[in-house]
Chain A
Amino acid sequence: MILVDIGNLSFQELKYLAKQEGVEDYENLSKDDLIDELSDIFDIVDGSIQLNNRLLSTSGQRYVNSLSDSATQKEVKDLPGVESLTELYMETSIHFMLSDLSWGFAYWSISPLTKAKLLEEDETYLQNVFLRVTLTNNDTNETSFYDINVDKDDTCWSINLSDLGCTYQVSLCVKNDANIIIALAQSIALTVPLPYWFKHSEELESNPVLFNSSFSSIITRQGDYKDTLVVKSVMTKLAHGDNNGKY
């Protein structure tokens, strides 16, 4: 990152800024006058900038002019300020998304601060990182959970969702050798529906017209079908049912 004082901006850039900020007669002002005008506009006071009634200590380095080398006027190749993407962000969090009705994907990070605190408390915590998947049945509100052990260097995981009709939440947890568990972060809760036809496939088995108006729509003329857990299950039930070859 290259930071420069407003006084280091080129005359052209100062004029550009002045135009943007609505400075009157900016085209006829000298460079020094432009700096004065812009300093007033941007409330540069003793090297600090006033922003929303808070003083930010910036040593007057308000504007960044970084794409051209002012000495040679050559373009700087590596854009200053364009940081390459970090692998992890300095935060402790976990995010959870649904891949389909039987798989989810979670990614997480543990901030250096959190790690330091855990190490300070008990260095065995970071040896036992795991994901706690909590599922709540949407009908009965019964809650259960299962744990997935992950390596301390893992940062993402595909999670098998064991039951349909549940709401899932994933917690990023650690535990020490004394089995004391700390939940570091919790994902949003996502609901996996229990499809009606999964529960009532017998209705499809006994009624070809009903089957035709619903599940035949995801079967191609070659007999291939959309390969999902739910479809597989319905198909398996149908295959084993006494449908007299109606399909």
Chain B
Amino acid sequence: MANTNVNFVLHAHMPFVRHPEHERFLEEDWLFESINESYLPLLRMLKKLRDNNINYKMSICFSPTLITMLLDPLLQKRYISYLKLHIELGRKEVKRCSREQVEALEMAKTYLASLELNLKEYVSLYEKNILKGFKELKEQGYLELLASAATNSFFPVYSEFPIAVNAQVEVGIQTFIEAFGYEPDGFWLPELGYYPGVEKILAKHNISYFPASSQSVLFSETRCDTGVYRPVRTENGVTVFPRDYQTTSLVWSQDGYPASKEYREFYRDIGYDLPIDYIGPYIHEPEVRVFTGFKYWAITEKGPNKDYYDRDKAMKVASQHALNFVYNISQKGRAVRPNLNGQDPLFTLCFDAELFGHWWYEGLQWLETLLTEQNSECASISFISPKDFINNEYKNFQPIKPCLSSWSNGGFAKIWLDGSNNWIYRHTHKAIERMVELSERFPNQQSLKKRFLDQAAREVLLAMACDWPYMIYNDTNSQFAKNQLISHLANFNVVYSNMCKNAVNTEWLVKSESRDAIFPRIDYNIFEIYNCNNL
């Protein structure tokens, strides 16, 4: 009989990258790699479990920028081109490996088969809209879907501007409803970034729960009797599911499962290893080496000496790791139970969806074993739906005042206010102030001016994405991140400076709408000050 509950949440997100002005754009590959290696294989695995009568429950949040990109015809078309190009590479690889590198032949065949299956399912089964598959699983009771902020904005650095946070929430929910056809119950705070008061904005939009980091509860001024092993509720009644960092770190840490030597090495890819005259057509011009997804080596050890990847062996290890994970949760559940006043513990575990399949190739095998095992008769853990859990146990949740927190390193907002990226907020805050000014000065416009102002609202939201400061902090693609950020701010400034002169730049508008084609039904009036009264 299960007596430890697990609330398993995946967060699928990609920053908004869409450049129709280029035939191929390097950073658009992030989306294609994720669809290829995570989203489609995840969907396949979840459907397989369903078809095998495995009764699982888990939650997924698709960020609004990702939803937009998954539904965008241009990117859909480009993904198909990406698949076809990589299938062509796969066929070449099977031939090359059978001639020159037989140790890698099985994996080359595996990748090719996976690409061909992806193309078939993407085009024929999902008709280019993979969200349909997830929606189907939601309707069948396997998945719960969470909404999120419009552009993955880290809310604590915008606490001075509840109107902007409200706009992020409202547009995020609007995007969710358009994609899935119903109002969400749960909300993913980007980076689990919580600041006291954000629950008022969530409650205004009928959000009943959100996951948060461990620190939200542990550093509360209120004595929380149940630690992070039971949900709590805020003063206005929104339920908080505090994440268990310790259990999560079995996976998500430097020495977590994915670092095991049998697993596939992510960073060794033929895009970097093979001669340019062979790999040239499959990387970016001019000779910019990129990941192709064809990786033949195991992690083995630190340094360049690697063993060939043995898929069967690695998948067995992944299954063992899943069983070890179940064991750890069960043990921890027993350890914390005496302090829970007879109530069953609940572990909230949150991960980036792209970890599974893309970064951690065997991660989907691990997850499949986990979901299957919890279904076995002797299992002592049970994966639950947060909504069901609230319906059954809400009255037992302790009311507390959560603390400022996030799931980032350190648990608060430090990496978003680092010396490398704190210059950003002078500009994004000013853009918000100016957007509020525009909506006050030019309320309820029609036609061209409305479109101009709507575009300004889009650009402000896009500039607020926390992906840009994160990449700058992490020094990964930092120049790209700076360019994206500055471009969105500069676009906003075009509208602001033009509107101040009572002008509309028509050609710019048309081009901007075409380039930053996101949130088609946005209404700039969300930045009017009355929207944040009492928030």
Residue positions of A touching B, CB distance < 8 A: 1, 3, 9, 13, 16-17, 20-22, 49, 51-52, 56, 58, 61-68, 79, 81-85, 88-89, 95-101, 103, 105, 107, 109, 155-156, 158, 165, 188, 190-191, 193-198, 200, 209-210, 212-222, 224, 226-228, 230
Give the shortest distance, in Å, between A111 (CB) and chain B (any CB). Answer: 13
Q: A13-B506, A20-B451, A213-B229 are in contact. List 20 more A-B contacts (CB 8 A).
A: A3-B501, A16-B506, A17-B448, A63-B506, A66-B505, A95-B160, A98-B412, A101-B412, A155-B426, A156-B422, A188-B160, A193-B219, A196-B221, A196-B222, A209-B339, A212-B336, A221-B246, A226-B215, A226-B245, A228-B410
Which 9 interchain pairs have the tightest Cβ spacing?
A100-B412, A214-B227, A213-B227, A195-B219, A213-B339, A213-B336, A64-B505, A220-B249, A67-B507
Which of B219, B250, B413, B423 lies in contact with A97, CB distance below 8 A?
A: B413
A67 and B494 within 8 A (CB): no
Q: Which residue of B lies closest to A56 (CB)?
A: B502
| Separation of A212 and B228 alpha carbons in the complex (Å) | 10
* Chain A residues in 8 Å Cβ range of B335: 209, 212-213
Report B241-256 residues with CB < 8 Å from chain A CB. Answer: 244-247, 249-250, 253, 255
B410 and A64 within 8 A (CB): no
User: Contacts A1-B497, A58-B501, A95-B425: A230 and B219 contacting too (C-beta < 8 A)?
Assistant: yes
Give the shortest distance, in Å, between B120 (CB) and chain A (any CB). Answer: 41
* Chain B residues in 8 Å Cβ range of A198: 219
Residue with the highest number of chain B CB atoms closer than 10 Å, among A20, A100, A217, A220: A217
* Chain B residues in 8 Å Cβ range of A214: 218, 224, 227-228
| Separation of A158 and B418 alpha carbons in the complex (Å) | 9
User: Contacts A100-B410, A218-B218, A226-B215: A213 and B340 contacting too (C-beta < 8 A)?
Assistant: yes
| Separation of A89 and B413 alpha carbons in the complex (Å) | 25
Chain B window 262-280, contacts with chain A (Cβ cutoff 8 Å), 1 for yes, 0 for no: 0000000000000000000
B245 and A217 within 8 A (CB): yes
Q: List 11 A-B contacts (CB under 8 A).
A: A13-B507, A20-B447, A62-B502, A81-B493, A95-B426, A97-B159, A100-B404, A193-B401, A213-B226, A214-B218, A222-B255
User: Contacts A58-B501, A79-B494: A100 and B220 contacting too (C-beta < 8 A)?
Assistant: no
B508 and A81 within 8 A (CB): yes
| Separation of A3 and B189 alpha carbons in the complex (Å) | 43
* Chain B residues in 8 Å Cβ range of A216: 246
| Separation of A99 and B503 alpha carbons in the complex (Å) | 40
Q: Could you say which of B36-44, B356-364, B473-481, B484-492 contacts chain A?
A: B484-492
* Chain A residues in 8 Å Cβ range of B504: 62-64
Which of A62, A88, A190, A212 lies in contact with B503, CB distance below 8 A?
A: A62
Give the shortest distance, in Å, between A224 (CB) and chain B (any CB). Answer: 8
Give the shortest distance, in Å, between B165 (CB) and chain A (any CB). Answer: 13
* Chain B residues in 8 Å Cβ range of A105: 417, 422
Q: Which residue of A lies closest to B412 (CB)?
A: A100
| Separation of A188 and B410 alpha carbons in the complex (Å) | 24
| Separation of A105 and B493 alpha carbons in the complex (Å) | 25
B246 and A218 within 8 A (CB): yes
* Chain A residues in 8 Å Cβ range of B491: 82
* Chain A residues in 8 Å Cβ range of B135: none
Q: Which residue of B lies closest to A51 (CB)?
A: B502
* Chain B residues in 8 Å Cβ range of A103: 414
B430 and A21 within 8 A (CB): no
Q: Which residue of B lies closest to A191 (CB)?
A: B196
Residue with the highest number of chain B CB atoms closer than 10 Å, among A84, A98, A194: A98
Q: Which residue of B lies closest to A226 (CB)?
A: B411
| Separation of A53 and B486 alpha carbons in the complex (Å) | 35
Which of B339, B412, B425, B493 lies in contact with A210, CB distance below 8 A?
A: B339
A81 and B425 within 8 A (CB): no
User: Is B284's CB within 8 Å of the partner chain A?
Assistant: no
* Chain B residues in 8 Å Cβ range of A213: 226-227, 229, 335-336, 339-340
A101 and B219 within 8 A (CB): yes
B447 and A85 within 8 A (CB): no
| Separation of A217 and B441 alpha carbons in the complex (Å) | 50
Residue with the highest number of chain A CB atoms closer than 10 Å, among B214, B417, B486: B417
User: Contacts A13-B507, A97-B425, A105-B422: A196 and B410 contacting too (C-beta < 8 A)?
Assistant: no
Report B385-410 residues with CB < 8 Å from chain A CB. Answer: 401, 403-404, 410
| Separation of A100 and B224 alpha carbons in the complex (Å) | 20
| Separation of A98 and B156 alpha carbons in the complex (Å) | 8
| Separation of A3 and B159 alpha carbons in the complex (Å) | 38
Give the shortest distance, in Å, between A229 (CB) and chain B (any CB). Answer: 10
| Separation of A64 and B448 alpha carbons in the complex (Å) | 13
Give the shortest distance, in Å, between B397 (CB) and chain A (any CB). Answer: 15
A217 and B221 within 8 A (CB): no
* Chain A residues in 8 Å Cβ range of B502: 49, 51, 56, 58, 62
| Separation of A63 and B413 alpha carbons in the complex (Å) | 43
Give the shortest distance, in Å, between B52 (CB) and chain A (any CB). Answer: 32
* Chain A residues in 8 Å Cβ range of B132: none
| Separation of A191 and B507 alpha carbons in the complex (Å) | 47
User: Is B223's CB within 8 Å of the partner chain A?
Assistant: yes
A21 and B218 within 8 A (CB): no
Which of B228, B340, B403 lies in contact with A217, CB distance below 8 A?
A: B228
* Chain B residues in 8 Å Cβ range of A194: 221
* Chain A residues in 8 Å Cβ range of B506: 9, 13, 16-17, 63-65
User: Contacts A21-B448, A85-B490, A100-B411: A196 and B223 contacting too (C-beta < 8 A)?
Assistant: yes
User: Is B236's CB within 8 Å of the partner chain A?
Assistant: no
Residue with the highest number of chain B CB atoms closer than 10 Å, among A66, A96, A100, A224: A100
| Separation of A61 and B414 alpha carbons in the complex (Å) | 47
Chain B window 319-349, contacts with chain A (Cβ cutoff 8 Å), 1 for yes, 0 for no: 0000000000000000110111000000000
* Chain A residues in 8 Å Cβ range of B222: 196
B403 and A82 within 8 A (CB): no
Give the shortest distance, in Å, between A43 (CB) and chain B (any CB). Answer: 10
User: Contacts A99-B412, A217-B244, A221-B246: A195 and B503 contacting too (C-beta < 8 A)?
Assistant: no
Give the shortest distance, in Å, between B503 (CB) and chain A (any CB). Answer: 5
A97 and B417 within 8 A (CB): yes
| Separation of A83 and B427 alpha carbons in the complex (Å) | 13
| Separation of A193 and B404 alpha carbons in the complex (Å) | 9
* Chain B residues in 8 Å Cβ range of A107: 422, 425-426
* Chain B residues in 8 Å Cβ range of A67: 505, 507-508, 511
A217 and B227 within 8 A (CB): yes
* Chain A residues in 8 Å Cβ range of B220: 193, 195-196
| Separation of A221 and B321 alpha carbons in the complex (Å) | 14
